Structures are given as structure tokens and as C-alpha cells.
Chain A
Amino acid sequence: MFPYKGFAGKWLDVDLTHGTLVAREMSATWAERFLGGNGLGTQMLWEKVGPDVDPLGPENLLILAAGPLVGTLMPNSCRMEAVAKSPLTGIYGDANAGGFFGPELKFAGWDAVVVRGQAPRPVYLAIADDRAELRDAAEIWGQTTSQTEASIRRQWGGPGVKVACIGPAGERLVRFASIQVTSQRSLGRCGLGAVMGSKNLKAVAVRGQGSVRFADPARSHALAVDFHLRLRSNPIYKAVSAHGTPGIVSLMDPLGRFPTRNFQAGSFPDVDKINAEALEKRALVRHLACSGCPIGCDKLHLLPDGRFAGTTLHSVEYETLNAFGANLWSGDLDAILKANRMCDDLGMDTISAGRAISFAMELWQEEILNLEETGGLWLEWGNAGEALRLLEQIAAREGLGDLLAEGVRRAAQVIGRGSEEFAMHVKGMEIAAQDGRAQRSMGLAHATSNRGADHLKAFPVIDETGYPDEARRRYGEAFLPEMAQPLATRHKPFLVKDGEDFGAVVDSVGVCKSGGTFVLAELYWPDLAAALEAVTGMEMPVERLKQIGERIYNLQRSYNVLHGISRTDDRLPRRFSQEPSPSGNAAGQVIDLEPMLDEYYALRGWDLCTGWPTPDRLRELGLEETACRLYPE
């Protein structure tokens, strides 16, 4: 009998090749060592998906999981996690989304759904509490994600069903295809939609009528109330609530941290056309929130007129405003929103899609691509219309789009002729909208992230604009002033390591990084430890929770080491170290990564030459089997 509350206590084992569905009891040992969500997925991937497995082959797993705090009273306890080997990077991959699917999965009585094999024909998985079945998806194969959700609600689940599904891009194995979750939330990064497409799995739909049980209901309630009140009284609560992530667009611009023309610069002259105020004036309909969220950074938008009149969408994010705006030298807000909706409907990550197009535009600028090679597309900077056409081609895998659908690393390898210089990726994943020249910690975070260039693993917000009070509270006076200064390198390896370990726990329990743990920087290790104790009944001293975070991060790194990753892969494109930023507060700056990497590896207890976790460190973290596999001698 699974001993802990908070968890549902079982997971659904789905073998698409044989069409079997088996309910399996959660392992108490797994829960104690890796919690759920991200940690659970990491452990399953480590055990079952070896280096010889093709990410788009039937042996890859797709793990959808909701951690032990998901569906509870804790604020922002709504996150779901997807884990698989990434077809974009070929290494560990994950994605995380808010909304309502995660809680619904828990209410249905499941901690995770683990999908393996390949269905002989398109299917979708329908879960209604204890009952699960594979249903024919022939009629919905080819539909957009919004059409798919509507079809499944009509055919099977009714209006309350929550759906995670792929669009045409996932079906065609675009390597940065997303899984879209009810209400236009995205499991965006790492191309996990292509994993789903490779399995002929169109969607997972869930309906649950149960609830989450608490080990100590009174304590859980008291903590939840305390957390809610603290978030609401946080000094930047109102700013985040009012504008969501678009609220940082205008702020990142003078910092020189707003990537423009494929990272050639960090400021955009037309930023006022695409910032939060412009978005609100043009298209805001109403404020929304994910399950259990007191902040409500989500918004509903509608283009009321113009060439894309009637386009609606949720969750216009900072990243997308950059990817299809400044990144393409475009101040055409309507076209940005249209591109966002196209990505949501076709099922693609807006970050990677935008970077793939800016990569092509820079190749056009450098005359590496000509009109014949672009299939007649004029890819000069700012041509939003051609960008939309190229976006369609990527999803359809037509023309130049077919090549870009492979991601910029593979596309550059095919194109050659020096194009590799302009492929802005780390470990094969396109870089999100930050610039290490303007914020040192973020440069290191991009380089070390286990899923490739990504801001959300370490998510170092403390020095983004300067959070001296939070830096003092979390790390102590000794870390100031540098810890809160974006251009300082001192203490940043510590900030990144702590963020990666804490982030691994945040993604494993199922709370939101934008909802108090990183953005707002309100809830920290002691808060999550207390919440876990109250909800699950596990003994969870802070030091134990920290070790779990470090264990998860080291297991992901070890998985990547098995796939050939080493220090030479913890790198940034040459541009960041050789081309001084021309922009704002970062003007004249480059990033020198190597000294920070030395310090980071030392803090992690990793080998300075290889960047591998040492056997001793792995054993200290309770990863004996991992140490044996990495060091068989």
C-alpha cells in the first residue's frame, strides 16, 4: 500500500504497440527519492530509455506527470510535467505547463501516465477516473489542437474534459513540436509533441471527480492561507498580476537583454509597439488564471479588427513577443499574435519556431540563403508576412520549412557555408529570449541547463534587474551587492546551481515558477519542505529536500553524460563571447563563461575537465547505481 498522501498512489502504464493499459502502484522509494512530476519522469527515463533509443522510435517513453502538491490548496499547484528523450536535442527532455490538466489527472486518481510503443493507427487516450481506454483518432488526425480539443469534448468527454494534444506539426514530427494543453497552455520545449506524433497518439484526455488527500489537513490549510497572503502582499505582486510576462518587455529592452535580429543586438527601437501596454490596448479582453493561482498572469486576447480580425488567444508571453517581434525586427503586433495562435493551433514551440525563422533571416542577410533556396520567400528583417508563410511551411514540412523543422542545429549542418555561426542554440535547443552579455547568470544558466538552452531550469531572477532584499533573505548579506547585479559574475555559479536544484523540486512537486517560487521570489526551500510534510506526511527537513533537488539534477546530467554530453557542450554560441553587445546597459559587454563554469562544476562536485558528476558525488546523493553505470570500471 502506497504510504503517502498528496500522491494519487498509482500511475497508468500505456503500451500503444499492444494496446494495453495497466494501473501500477506508485513506488514509495521513487517518491521518497524523486518526489513526482519532473523527478519521477527523470527516474523512469533513466531506467527505461537508454542511449541507443531513437527519440522518435517506439522505445522512447512519454511521461506525463503531476506532482504531490498538484490539485491541493497550495497556490499555483497546477503544473504538469512531460518528460521524454528529446528529438530536438537527443538528450534528456522535459516541458512544463500550467492550466487545469495536472489537477484533473490527480482528481482522476493518477500521478502519471507513461506511454510507450507505437499505435498501429492514430488513437487518443481517454481517462475517466479509474477507467481508461484507447479510442480511434482517425477522424481527428490532421486537426489543429483547438479543433482536436473540441472534437474530443464532443465525441467523448463533454465540456469539462481536459485535453493534452498535438497538432499537425507533431504529426509531421517537427522536432520542436509542442503538446498543447487545454486553454492554450503549452508543453512547449524539447519537441515532445513529435514524440507523441511518432507514437500515433493524438491526445490524452482526462476527466476526474476525485480529490487529493492530505496527511495533515489543518496544517496544509494553514500553510496554503499563509502562502496566498504572502504572495498577495509581495511588493511586485500587482505588477506581475496586471501584465503577466509581457510586463517585462519594456524593462528588458534598456537592459540590453531583449534579443533582436537573432541576438545581433539586445534592444529594439519599436519596443513600445509590442510591450504590455500596447498588447493591452490592442487586444486585452479579460484577466484569467490557472487552477489555484492568486496572481493570474494569464489573459484572454482578441484582435477586434484588421487582417487577422477574430484571432483569439490566451497566454501571450514575453518569449513569444520577442520571438516573433524584436527577434524578427518586427513591430507588427497583430502578426505576432497571429503567429502565436498559429503555433498553438499547429502545435509548435514559439521560442524555437521564432528562432528558426530568425536564423533563416540572418542567413538571408549574410547572403548564405538566396531566393531560390528560400522557395521565393523574401526573408529580409521585419517581413512579418513572409515569416508567417515560413511558419506554415515549417508545420507542413514544406520547402525551406522542412529543413527548419529539424531545428537550427541540424539545419545549419545541412546548409553549411558558415551558417553554423548563426544557429543560436545550446545542445541543439534554440536559445530563449535572454542574453548572457546583459545578465551573466542567465548566460551560465543557458549553458548548463540539462535540456539545452533554457532560462527556466535555473531561472535566476535575483539579478535580472536586482532583487537585493530577496538576495539578502535567501543567501545573506555576504552575497551582496554582486548577487543582485546583472553584470557581476561573482556568486552567480552559486545562484545558478541553487536555482537548478530548487527548480527541479518545484517541477517535481508541481507548483509554478512564475507564481512565487522564482518570479516574486517569495516561496523558497523551507516553504516547499513544510508544504510537502503537511500534504504528504513525508518527513522533509530542508536539507533532505535540497538533496532531492540535487539528486534529480545530477541524474538528468548523468543521463546526458550517457548520451555523450560533457563540458564541451556547456557552451554558448560564439556571438556571446566575441561580439560585444551594442545595446543599453549591456553595451560593450561580452560573457566569459569559462571561469563561471569552473566554479559551477566545483560547487556541484563535478569533474572540472569533463563536466561529469564524480562517482563520489553521485554516491553522496544516493545514486550508487548511476555511479556504476557511468563508471563501470
Chain B
Amino acid sequence: MPAVTVRYHNILRSAVGLAEESVPLPENAALYGLLEALAEARGSPLGEMLLKADGSVVSHLVMFVNRKLITGDPRSVPLADGDEILLFPSVSGG
């Protein structure tokens, strides 16, 4: 079955309790669909760290697909079998 690897970082990792997982990928899935699936499967508190109550993506969520930063609408970011998705809170500094 097609699947993607999701890697959680920082407080997202603490919230979900694991560093990474393999997630089955429906046909024609987009990144937004993956976020919806994760929020539904994992519930609180991860869900609120990914999507707001109105279904929009939390603005302080940083997403990479195959190490490319996603700055546009995740509905238009297609996913494919074997993709690596990195999820971070939008920390900054140095």
C-alpha cells in the first residue's frame, strides 16, 4: 500500500509521543489531506497543532515535503508513495 513517512519535531513530537510514523496514502492525496488524516487519527493535542477549528492550517506549522519548504496552499501539494514529510512548530532564533 502506498505510504509516506511523517517525522515530528519539537513539541509536535512530544504531543504525539513518537518521532516518526508511516502513514497510508490514499490515491490522489494532497498534503492537506494528510494533515486532516493525522488530526483525526491522533486527536488532541496534535490535531490543534495542525489545523484550526475552521479547518485552516495552523500558521505556525512548518511543513517540508522531501526537504522542500511548503509556503503555498497544502491542498495543492500532491503527495506520492515514499515521500518524507517533516512537521515542525515555527521556532526561530540562533
Q: Measuring CB to CB, which residues of chain A are less than 8 angstroms from any residue of chain B?
A: 235-236, 238-240, 242-243, 245, 247-248, 250-251, 254-255, 267, 276-277, 318-319, 432-434, 455-456, 459, 461, 464-469, 481, 484-486, 514, 518-519, 584-585
Say yes or no: A254-B64 contact (C-beta < 8 A), given A239-B91, A240-B91, A318-B93: yes
Q: Is the CB of A236 within 8 A of B94?
A: no
Interface size on B, residues (CB 8 A): 23
Q: Is the CB of A254 within 8 A of B94?
A: no
Q: Tell me which residues across on chain B come within 8 A of A466, comparing CB atoms.
A: 62, 69, 71, 90
A519 (CB) vs chain B CBs: closest residue: B93
Q: Is the CB of A248 within 8 A of B14?
A: no
Which residues in window 1-55 of B have CB below 8 A to A?
Answer: 9-11, 13-14, 19
Contact among A250, A319, A518 for B10, CB-based, below 8 A: A250
Sorted from nearest, which 8 A-B pairs have the closest CB atoms? Answer: A461-B92, A239-B89, A519-B93, A254-B67, A464-B92, A585-B69, A235-B60, A584-B67
In the bound complex, CA of A243 to CA of B91 (Å): 10
Q: Is the CB of B71 within 8 A of A236?
A: no
Q: Tell me which residues across on chain B come within 8 A of A585, comparing CB atoms.
A: 64, 67-69
In the bound complex, CA of A267 to CA of B90 (Å): 18
Q: Is the CB of A468 within 8 A of B9?
A: no
Q: Tell me which residues across on chain B come within 8 A of A235, comparing CB atoms.
A: 58-60, 89-90
In the bound complex, CA of A584 to CA of B68 (Å): 6
Say yes or no: A318-B94 contact (C-beta < 8 A), given A481-B71, A485-B71, A585-B69: yes
Q: Tell me which residues across on chain A come within 8 A of B11, comparing CB atoms.
A: 238-239, 242
Main secondary structure of the interface of B (DSSP, over half): loop
Q: Tell me which residues across on chain A come within 8 A of B60, comparing CB atoms.
A: 235-236, 467, 469
State how many angstroms separate the Cβ of B63 from the closest Cβ of chain A.
Answer: 10
In the bound complex, CA of A481 to CA of B14 (Å): 30
In the bound complex, CA of A276 to CA of B94 (Å): 13
Q: Tell me which residues across on chain B come within 8 A of A467, comparing CB atoms.
A: 60, 90, 92
5 contacts between A and B (CB under 8 A): A235-B60, A247-B10, A254-B64, A468-B59, A584-B67
Q: Is the CB of B67 within 8 A of A236?
A: no
Q: Tell me which residues across on chain B come within 8 A of A247, comparing CB atoms.
A: 10, 91, 93
State how many angstroms separate the Cβ of A327 from the closest Cβ of chain B.
Answer: 14
Query: Any chain A CB within 8 A of the CB of B80?
Result: no
Say yes or no: A251-B9 contact (C-beta < 8 A), given A245-B93, A465-B92, A466-B62: yes
B58 (CB) vs chain A CBs: closest residue: A235
Contact among B71, B86, B90 for A254, CB-based, below 8 A: B86
Q: Is the CB of A486 within 8 A of B94?
A: no
In the bound complex, CA of A152 to CA of B93 (Å): 34
Q: Is the CB of B93 within 8 A of A248?
A: yes
In the bound complex, CA of A238 to CA of B67 (Å): 25
Q: Is the CB of A465 within 8 A of B88?
A: yes
B62 (CB) vs chain A CBs: closest residue: A465
Q: Tell me which residues across on chain A come within 8 A of B9, comparing CB atoms.
A: 250-251
In the bound complex, CA of A433 to CA of B93 (Å): 11
State how many angstroms separate the Cβ of B32 from the closest Cβ of chain A.
Answer: 17
Q: Tell me which residues across on chain A come within 8 A of B14, comparing CB atoms.
A: 242
State how many angstroms separate the Cβ of B74 from the closest Cβ of chain A.
Answer: 13
State how many angstroms separate the Cβ of A429 from the closest Cβ of chain B.
Answer: 15
Say yes or no: A486-B69 contact (C-beta < 8 A), given A242-B10, A585-B64: yes
Q: Tell me which residues across on chain A come within 8 A of B58, comparing CB atoms.
A: 235
A251 (CB) vs chain B CBs: closest residue: B88
Q: Tell me which residues across on chain A come within 8 A of B59, comparing CB atoms.
A: 235, 468-469
Q: Is the CB of B71 within 8 A of A276?
A: no
Say yes or no: A254-B93 contact (C-beta < 8 A), given A236-B60, A242-B10: no
A585 (CB) vs chain B CBs: closest residue: B69
Q: Tell me which residues across on chain B come within 8 A of A276, comparing CB atoms.
A: 10
Given contacts A235-B90, A248-B91, 14 further A-B contacts (CB under 8 A): A235-B89, A240-B91, A242-B10, A247-B93, A248-B93, A250-B88, A251-B62, A254-B64, A254-B86, A455-B94, A518-B92, A519-B93, A585-B67, A585-B68
Contact among A469, A486, A514 for B93, CB-based, below 8 A: A514
Q: Tell me which residues across on chain A come within 8 A of B90, comparing CB atoms.
A: 235-236, 465-467
Give B64-93 as 1s and 0s: 1 = Cβ < 8 Å from A's Cβ atoms. Answer: 100111010000000000000010111111
